[in-house]
Structure 1
């Protein structure tokens, strides 16, 4: 399992596009992998034949764990390749096998067969020591249990995926007693989980004298009537983790400003009329806000920073994240070097990336490296809200809907369009006065819209 994004810790095998026995060439798409950010394609790093799939569709696999083997098609198997161990385990490698390298697959020849572990990424072979030790214990425990059961039965160990063995160890299931439903009788993750549920149902029957404790405590749900259990998507899981960390680690401060955007909205009408006459796409209010934020950060980069312990990292590039709601969860595509782009260029790029976000077609590099994020809920009629900082950034701007309000202009009462925005800032990196200065400059641009494109 390669690292396909900068924040990825594991990946879910969504589907295999090649089957066991298929010939593959370097660059062929083997599978679709769901990361914490997008649906990515896994490429083959060698020519050969796909001889084994070790992680079935639906499996969640840590970075560095072997998910498939590519060989020369001879059909000869080396000892140990039937049940390849995950990267980071302590089991000795048998002669003739090859462990995946960070730069791609590795070929070795033994007994006329070539085996390559499908892996990639600069850190695919590097694992956290604590996590590696845990995986090693779990994998070795499952292997030992299976081997013991097989020896008792006088037969060979059952075929199972590394993921199935690890889950069996975690749930306390003897994998030798599990009936496999996968190809060739292979034991899958679902088989292990089904066996665990069956064992629990036996333990909780009325005639059972004493139920055995389970290895993992289940969360206590307060009775509140019937409910539906809705699993989180991969994006929602990662978002929940990262945003919780943000609130726990970054002391948020919030500053709200009411901005008169009456002239800005009239200016947008003029711009769109010009663009329409030229056969170009229109710009949205959000596109103008993106440009205004970029221009403000270019003038004063004090909010374009990251807190790094004993120092601040002031970013030279202005890369703005745009929060996009998708059926799978919140994604944040990034407009890179937004200060160097025109409003129409920002509009075209924003439309494209928003559409591809909803279709899960964004590349990982299009969602990483942001330095400041904008979240706009104005289209839902929300007047005002506060947003959680998107780490490792230090600020996020929450934008509401423009509202009609009466304002005094001398002795005259006039109707104006008022937009409220709230800046959430990491107080470790941005003082209140610094954040206030940013909002003041941003407000001045919006209330004098010609300056945005100057």
Structure 2
């Protein structure tokens, strides 16, 4: 009996998931536990593994299509096995004749076209369109994931063919696929999944807020010395390693408690001043940026904060974050110091009022009284919503962060 593979629920708040990529086509054999598709919801993307060994009999949800959790996205069984009508997914039952034709295409056997001995990657719908137009699929440049030929690639080839037929004599007509390839030299990547979600949020952030960024340099010479002095004790007693980022996070949390107007959000014409600090820590992934949240950071010690930062970053890189892990932040920190960046302009994470950009520490000569000394300088960039507060209170907050970092013992008392 065919086994149903369903859209997983990626967090309690998830209402819809999208198939971003199919790793297998109809007719392909799969092993139990083998990744067969990638799905995403909001900023979370995971691989869906096959629950059994067998053959992909039917793909019920195409790439880019969003469906509720629990919806059947494909069927796996024995080769040639028929799928009973009672197992058809709810999303399929809602569609009309056009989707039924697509479903029939997806039930076709695996593509047999070869290019230099390898199978041409092409979606069933694209293959049907190409065959109907007598196009050579081996000459169509695929822009889908892994070079897969999509419906849009075939449409582009048909468009190029029509243009050539109107301007060139039949006997001298150039292959339309070659013209299409010449017009599109750059690799085309689908604008979907996490990248599309981030783009929408960032564009909306810039459109709906009055963002202003101010920069400040902090002398962290004493902080780095304290970090080195306490390294052995922290490792021995807490099995942990404190980083400069951990100290920055601690300084931000303490400063937000003193400057509540920065720990706020403008929602429906009301400024919400939060007593709790839910700290967002931006984590860069291969497919985009995610911001896991440390809840009630005001109750965390420096060591607790350090552990939470590391644990959430690890979950993010392993694709194990839930929607709840990335919701409810009241202030965000974004650190680009590892890439050698000094000052930059971070974009607000709506509906928060502030975000702190952290640059790379650099050594430079500084006058301390009458003496010229080598000091370690940390660049900070604070972006805030000018609708919620003015430059003076924002500068006061940044000044408090600076004071904590320059006299780090105050963060331990």
TM-score (norm 1): 0.64
Q: Distance in 2 between matches of 1:272 and 1:366?
A: 29
Q: Which residue of 1 aligns with 2:45?
A: 39
Q: Which piece of structure 1 moves more, 315-324 or 1-10?
A: 1-10
**Alpha-carbon distance change, 7 to 389 in structure 1, aligned in 2, over 3 angstroms:** farther
3-state DSSP class of the match of 2:85? coil
Q: Which residue of 1 aligns with 2:64?
A: 60
1:382 CA drift (Å): 2.1
Q: Distance in 1 between matches of 2:14 and 2:204?
A: 13
User: Which structure features the higher share of helix residues?
Assistant: 2
Q: Which residue of 2 aligns with 1:159?
A: 104
**Alpha-carbon distance change, 51 to 413 in structure 1, aligned in 2, over 3 angstroms:** closer
The equivalences for 1:243-322 within 5 A come to 243-278=202-237, 280-322=239-281
1:63-113 per-position Cα deviation (integer Å, ceiling 9, x unaligned)? 44954499xx996526xx768556xxxxxx8xxxxx8xxxxxxxxxxxxxx
Q: Which residue of 1 aligns with 2:328?
A: 369
1:8 CA drift (Å): 7.7
Give the unaligned 5+ runs of structure 2: 1-6, 28-34, 50-55, 76-80, 107-122, 135-147, 169-181
Contact 1:178 1:191 in 2 (8 A): no
Q: Distance in 2 between matches of 1:208 and 1:67?
A: 48
Which has the higher relative contact order, 1 or 2, with Cα contacts under 8 A spaced 6 or more apart?
2
1:184-225 per-position Cα deviation (integer Å, ceiling 9, x unaligned)? xxxxx967446534533442333579xxxxxxxxxxxxx999
1:297-350 per-position Cα deviation (integer Å, ceiling 9, x unaligned)? 123321111111310122333111112222112222222222211222222222
Contact 1:158 1:176 in 2 (8 A): no
1:1-53 per-position Cα deviation (integer Å, ceiling 9, x unaligned)? 67746698652254599x99xxxxxxxx997522331224779xxxxxx9975
Q: Which piece of structure 1 moves more, 377-386 or 285-294?
A: 377-386
Aligned pairs, number: 354
Q: Distance in 1 between matches of 2:67 and 2:84?
A: 28
Q: Which residue of 2 aligns with 1:430?
A: 389
1:389-413 per-position Cα deviation (integer Å, ceiling 9, x unaligned)? 1112221101112233333333333
**Alpha-carbon distance change, 176 to 143 in structure 1, aligned in 2, over 3 angstroms:** farther
Q: Which piece of structure 1 moves more, 433-442 or 271-280?
A: 271-280
Q: Distance in 1 between matches of 2:159 and 2:343?
A: 49
Q: Distance in 2 between matches of 1:7 and 1:302?
A: 31
Contact 1:307 1:394 in 2 (8 A): yes
Q: Distance in 1 between matches of 2:363 and 2:339?
A: 16
Contact 1:233 1:329 in 2 (8 A): no
Q: Distance in 2 between matches of 1:246 and 1:286?
A: 25
**Alpha-carbon distance change, 195 to 142 in structure 1, aligned in 2, over 3 angstroms:** farther
Give the unaligned 5+ runs of structure 1: 21-28, 44-49, 87-92, 94-98, 100-138, 147-156, 162-167, 180-188, 210-222
Q: Which residue of 2 aligns with 1:11?
A: 18
Q: Which residue of 2 aligns with 1:335?
A: 294
3-state DSSP class of the match of 2:329? coil
Q: Which residue of 2 aligns with 1:77?
A: 85
Q: Distance in 2 between matches of 1:352 and 1:227?
A: 38
Contact 1:142 1:175 in 2 (8 A): no
Q: 1:383 and 2:342 equivalent?
A: yes
Q: Distance in 1 between matches of 2:91 and 2:238?
A: 58
Q: Which residue of 2 aligns with 1:416?
A: 375
Q: Distance in 2 between matches of 1:40 and 1:415?
A: 47
**Alpha-carbon distance change, 284 to 232 in structure 1, aligned in 2, over 3 angstroms:** farther
Contact 1:82 1:159 in 2 (8 A): no
Q: Distance in 1 between matches of 2:280 and 2:84?
A: 51
Q: Which residue of 2 aligns with 1:229?
A: 188
3-state DSSP class of the match of 1:204? helix
Q: Which residue of 1 aligns with 2:141?
A: none
1:62 CA drift (Å): 2.5
The equivalences for 1:345-360 within 5 A come to 345-360=304-319
3-state DSSP class of the match of 2:164? coil
The equivalences for 1:88-127 within 5 A come to none
**Alpha-carbon distance change, 252 to 408 in structure 1, aligned in 2, over 3 angstroms:** same
Q: Which residue of 1 aligns with 2:138?
A: none
Q: Distance in 2 between matches of 1:250 and 1:400?
A: 24
3-state DSSP class of the match of 1:404? strand
